[in-house]
Amino acid sequence: MLGLAKQTGAKILQASTSEVYGDPVVHPQPESYWGNVNPIGERSCYDEGKRCAETLFMDYHRKHGIRIKIVRIFNTYGPNMLAHDGRVVSNFVVQALNNKDITIYGDGMQTRSFQYIDDFIEGMVRMMDSRDDFIGPVNIGNPGEFTILELAEKVIKLTNSKSKIIFQPLPFDDPKQRKPDITLAKKELGWAPCIPLDEGLKRIISYFKSVDV
Ligand code: UDP
C-alpha cells in the first residue's frame, strides 16, 4: 500500500493503536511515549505489527516524501459491532441482555478508556483533512478512564440485567491501564470526544436489542 501511495501520490492513513504503548508506565499516554511492549508475548504480533507499520510509514515519508497520517486509536465501540467479536463492551452488553454471567478477566481493576464510534470517525476525518505537514502520530481516544469492574456495573445497571459478575483468568500481558493524552488532537485538529460512556452505552445497548442478540 505504501508503494501504491508512492506511485500515485495518494495520501495514506495508518490506523495504528494504543497497543503501541503496551503495558504503559507513563500515564496518561502522550504520543511522545515510546511504550512498554513485550516483543515475545502473546499480544506481540499485534502490538509489534502496528509499531512496525508506523516505522514503515515514517520511513516512506522521510525517504520518498509520501503524504502520511498516523492515528493511534484507543478502545472504540458502537452499533454494528459483532455480538461475539470478543471485546469487552460487546461481550458485557450481550451477556447482560441475555442475563448471562458477565465475564471479568482478572480482578477487574485494569482500566480502559472507551470512545464512541461517532467521536472516533470525526477525529479520523479531521486528521485526513488536516494540513499535510501534520502527520501524527496522534492519539484519538476518550480520556474518560474506567475500571473493567465499573464498566460491568454500568452495563448491568443500564440494561436492568439479572446477570452476575464472575471472574476468570486474566489473559497474559493484559495492559493494566490505558488512557490517552489528547492534548495534541485538541491543538492540531480542534477535536475532543463529546459522547460520554453512559450515553454511548445506552446507544449500543439499543443497537444490540434491535438486532436481538
Ligand atoms: N475483558 C474482560 N472480559 C471480557 C472481555 C475483555 O474482562 O469478556 C477485559 C480484558 O482482559 C481487558 C479489557 O477487558 O483488560 C479490554 O479488553 P478488550 O479486548 O476489549 O480490549 P484491549 O485489551 O485490546 O484494550
pLDDT tens figures, 56-97: 999 999 999 999 999 999 999 999 999 999 999 999 999 999
Q: 96, 102 in Cβ contact below 8 A?
A: yes
pLDDT band at 116 (very low <50, low <70, confident <90, very high): very high
| DSSP for 84-149, written as a single string | TS--HHHHHHHHHHTTPPEEEETTS--EE--EEHHHHHHHHHHHHHS-TT----EEES----EEHH
Number of neighbours of residue 4 by Cβ within 10 angstroms:
10
Distance 133 CA to ligand 1 centre (A): 35
Q: How many CB atoms lie within 10 A of CB 199?
A: 10
What pLDDT, in 10s, does the model give residues 4-41? 999 999 999 999 999 999 999 999 999 999 999 999 99
Residues with a known catalytic role: 46
pLDDT band at 122 (very low <50, low <70, confident <90, very high): very high
Q: For residue range 182-210, list pLDDT tens digits in order.
A: 999 999 999 999 999 999 999 999 999 99
Q: Kindly report the pTM of this predicted structure.
A: 0.95
Q: 154 near 92, Cβ under 8 Å?
A: no
Is there an atom of ligand 1 within 6 Å of 126 CB?
no
Does the pLDDT value for residue 51 go beyond 90? yes
- The pLDDT assigned to 61 comes to 98
Residue 182, pLDDT score: 98
Any ligand 1 atom below 6 A from CB of 171: yes
146 strand-pairing partners:
112
The pLDDT of residue 212 is: 81
Q: What is the pLDDT of residue 213?
A: 85
136-186: pLDDT as tens digits? 999 999 999 999 999 999 999 999 999 999 999 999 889 999 999 999 999
Contact of 139 with 18, CB cutoff 8 Å:
yes
Q: Which amino acid is at 57?
A: F
In one-letter notation, the amino acid at residue 150 is E
Distance between CA 182 and CA 192 in Å, rounded?
A: 7
Q: Which of 145, 154, 150 is nearest to 175 (CA)?
A: 145
Alpha-carbon gap, residue 114 to 201, rounded angstroms: 10
CA angle 61, 142, 71 (to 5 degrees): 10
**Per-chain mean pLDDT for the chain:** 97
d(CA 129, CA 109): 38
For ligand 1, whether the C-beta of 122 sits within 6 Å is no
Label the pairing between strands 68-73 and 12-17. Answer: parallel
For residue 43, the CA-to-ligand 1 centroid distance in Å is 12
